[in-house]
């Protein structure tokens, strides 16, 4: 067997190539598909199947383009409501790829049509491709398909049955290959590891511990973060079939004057330090060095006109591609930041400087934009938690007249938050470099969520 995992860090997404005896299958491909075609060519194989474990919500898949370019069949679970020619599979079906047997298990729970695939071949370990049913350290969240008529509790009950009736009877030695790793919003506490064994998951995955179905439902439905608005659009596009990337319009360069009057959102894709040193007024900073597409999808409504502000055209092309991977195809303009471009600055201050300033005045506020669980685990003393994905809706909690310091874990999210606050009219904004990690490493005073709540009550 020729086997390869393709891991896309910015989306925490794993896709897979399996080849044998001149045939190949691709599981859960990303939108830009040339890498799979190149792999098959190097392997001397023809792609026979493009298999989707479910209709993904967090990214747009390239299954339709890949099938068109290779003649492969697109495979979905039998309950998938696809708008294109599809080989629908059900429990117990067997697909063959050379000498590899792919056994289908219907595993609803994350979505109704979800499937898992067990790949077996002589002399090879069994490999189970679980999609978003079972992750390393977690299971797929059951609350993303409300529009299909199921409650989160109903989906969680299906997930329990899928795990206990289909997956857990397999041997401990079975290798588990999920569709996502840490950072994905399709689960809550995914591991950084991109594969595991079923035996290891029995030991360490909370969701596989002995418990009743009722207990399982309660645990996996509790405290799920809000789903980004683009998830529904991505899932729908995957069932409809996305267009080829070559059909997306090439962005056109605009001037500084045009950027100043741009009616959509300007995304500055440079790092936080470069953005802080000088950026287009009222642009927001989503750096290519982090989970760019995921944050763009969470912060910007689908269909919004987008202009890319960058240091080079290479950055522009990368940004357009990464936006297209989540179904955003409206980045029609770009501006290259040059010395004569009108800019605004955002001071980048160290944790020591921030702490000293805040301690010396009553007219400062420290906004922590991390997720509630991160904040609860420990934060800078006096910091107020407004999670980044909630900031635009909770601006009334920020006093625009006070000197504002924004902090996250490392400085990436706080730089994005500073742009949102700038757009909201907050005058004095400072991005705390190094974030909470640097604050703790410097030995500055911290507190727990419980202590902060007690202070708020006084």
Q: Is residue 341 part of a domain?
A: no
Residues 71 and 156 both lie in one domain: yes
Final residue before a domain boundary, out of 267, 301, 336: 336
Residues 61 and 135 both lie in one domain: yes
Residues 319 and 419 both lie in one domain: no
CA distance 408 to 410: 6
73 in Cβ contact with 49 (< 8 Å):
yes
Residues 300 and 388 both lie in one domain: no
Query: In total, how many domains does the chain have?
Result: 3
Residue among 300, 299, 317 nearest 308 (CA): 317
Q: Where are the beta strands (DSSP E) in 293-428?
A: 306-310, 331-336, 348-349, 364-368, 379-380, 384-385, 403-407
Residue range of the domain that includes 286: 248-336
128 in Cβ contact with 104 (< 8 Å):
no
Residues 143 and 211 both lie in one domain: yes
Residues 404 and 267 both lie in one domain: no
pTM of the model: 0.89
Q: Which pair of tokens denotes residue 138?
A: 């977690």
CA distance 40 to 43: 5
In CATH, what number is assigned to the domain containing residue 289?
3.40.250.10
1 in Cβ contact with 20 (< 8 Å):
yes
> Dihedral, CA atoms, 81, 85, 86, 88, nearest 10 degrees?
70
Q: Is residue 342 part of a domain?
A: no
Final residue before a domain boundary, out of 284, 316, 336: 336
Residue indicated by tokens 């597409």: 293
Residues 73 and 157 both lie in one domain: yes
Q: Is residue 114 part of a domain?
A: yes
Which pLDDT score, from 0 to 100, does residue 339 have?
A: 73
Residues 234 and 254 both lie in one domain: no
Annotated catalytic residue within 10, 186, 408, 455: 408
- Which three-class secondary structure state does DSSP give residue 451? helix
Spell out the per-residue pLDDT of the chain, length 458, in tens: 999 999 998 899 999 999 999 999 999 999 999 999 999 999 999 999 999 999 999 999 999 999 999 999 999 999 999 999 999 999 999 999 999 999 999 999 999 999 999 999 999 999 999 999 999 999 999 988 755 678 999 999 999 999 999 999 999 999 999 999 887 777 777 788 999 999 999 999 999 999 999 999 999 999 887 788 889 899 999 999 999 988 888 899 999 889 989 999 999 999 999 999 999 999 999 999 988 998 999 999 999 999 999 999 999 999 999 999 999 999 999 999 987 777 899 999 999 999 999 999 999 999 999 999 899 999 999 999 999 999 999 999 999 999 999 999 999 999 999 999 999 999 899 999 999 999 999 999 999 865 444 333 33
Residues 395 and 257 both lie in one domain: no
310 in Cβ contact with 334 (< 8 Å):
yes
28 in Cβ contact with 16 (< 8 Å):
yes
Residues 223 and 315 both lie in one domain: no
- Which three-class secondary structure state does DSSP give residue 400? coil
- For 240, the enclosing helix (H) or strand (E) is helix 230-240
Angle between helices 292-299 and 313-324 (to 10 degrees): 60
Residue among 409, 372, 402 nearest 387 (CA): 372
R_g of the chain, CA atoms, integer Å: 24
Which pLDDT score, from 0 to 100, does residue 266 have?
A: 97
Which pLDDT score, from 0 to 100, does residue 199 have?
A: 97
The verdict on whether 408 is a catalytic residue reads yes
Which pLDDT score, from 0 to 100, does residue 455 have?
A: 35
- Which three-class secondary structure state does DSSP give residue 136? coil
In CATH, what number is assigned to the domain containing residue 153?
3.60.15.10
Final residue before a domain boundary, out of 239, 257, 285: 239
Residues 254 and 355 both lie in one domain: no
Residues 139 and 255 both lie in one domain: no
- Which three-class secondary structure state does DSSP give residue 232? helix
Which pLDDT score, from 0 to 100, does residue 279 have?
A: 94
Beta-carbon contacts of 345 under 8 Å, excluding residues fewer than 6 positions away, are 276, 277, 278, 279
């Amino acid at each position: 067997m020729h086997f390869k995992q393709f891991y896309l860090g910015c989306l925490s997404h794993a896709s897979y190539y399996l080849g044998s005896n001149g045939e190949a299958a691709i599981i859960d491909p990303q939108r830009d598909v040339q890498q799979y075609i190149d792999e098959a060519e190097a392997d001397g194989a023809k792609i026979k199947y493009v298999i989707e474990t479910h209709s993904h919500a967090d990214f747009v898949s390239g299954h339709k383009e890949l099938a068109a370019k290779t003649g492969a069949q697109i495979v979905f679970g039998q309950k998938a409501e696809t708008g294109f020619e599809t080989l629908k599979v059900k429990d117990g079906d067997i697909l063959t790829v050379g000498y590899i047997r792919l056994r289908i298990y219907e595993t609803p729970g994350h979505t109704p049509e979800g499937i898992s695939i067990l790949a077996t071949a002589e002399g090879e370990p069994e490999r189970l491709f679980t999609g978003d049913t079972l992750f390393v350290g977690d299971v797929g969240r059951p609350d993303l398909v409300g529009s299909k008529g199921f409650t989160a509790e109903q989906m969680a009950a299906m997930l329990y049955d899928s795990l206990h009736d289909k997956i857990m009877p397999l041997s401990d030695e079975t290798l588990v290959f999920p569709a996502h790793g840490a950072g994905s919003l399709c689960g809550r506490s995914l591991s950084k590891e991109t594969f595991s064994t079923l035996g290891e998951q029995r030991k360490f995955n909370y969701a596989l511990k002995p418990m009743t179905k009722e207990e399982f439902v309660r645990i996996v439905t509790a405290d799920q973060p809000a789903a980004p608005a683009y998830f529904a659009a991505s899932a729908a596009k995957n069932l409809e079939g996305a267009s080829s990337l070559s059909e997306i319009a090439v962005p056109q360069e605009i001037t500084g004057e045009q950027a100043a009057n741009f009616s959509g959102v300007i995304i500055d894709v440079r790092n936080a330090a470069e953005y802080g040193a000088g950026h287009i007024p009222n642009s927001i900073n989503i750096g290519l060095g982090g989970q760019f597409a995921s944050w763009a999808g969470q912060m910007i409504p689908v269909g919004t006109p987008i202009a890319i502000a960058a240091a080079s055209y290479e950055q522009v092309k990368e940004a357009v591609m990464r936006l297209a991977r989540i179904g955003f195809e409206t980045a029609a303009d770009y501006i290259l930041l040059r010395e004569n471009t009108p800019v605004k600055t955002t001071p980048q201050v160290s944790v020591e400087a921030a702490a000293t300033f805040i301690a010396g005045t009553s007219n400062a506020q420290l906004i922590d934009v991390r997720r509630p669980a991160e904040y609860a685990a420990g934060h800078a003393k006096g910091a107020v938690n407004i999670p980044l994905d909630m900031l635009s809706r909770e601006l009334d909690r920020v006093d625009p007249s006070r000197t504002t310091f924004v902090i996250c874990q490392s400085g990436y999210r706080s730089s994005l938050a500073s742009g949102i606050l700038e757009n909201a009219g907050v005058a004095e904004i400072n991005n705390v470099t190094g974030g909470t990690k640097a604050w703790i490493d410097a030995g500055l005073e911290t507190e727990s969520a419980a202590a902060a709540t007690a202070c708020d009550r006084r």
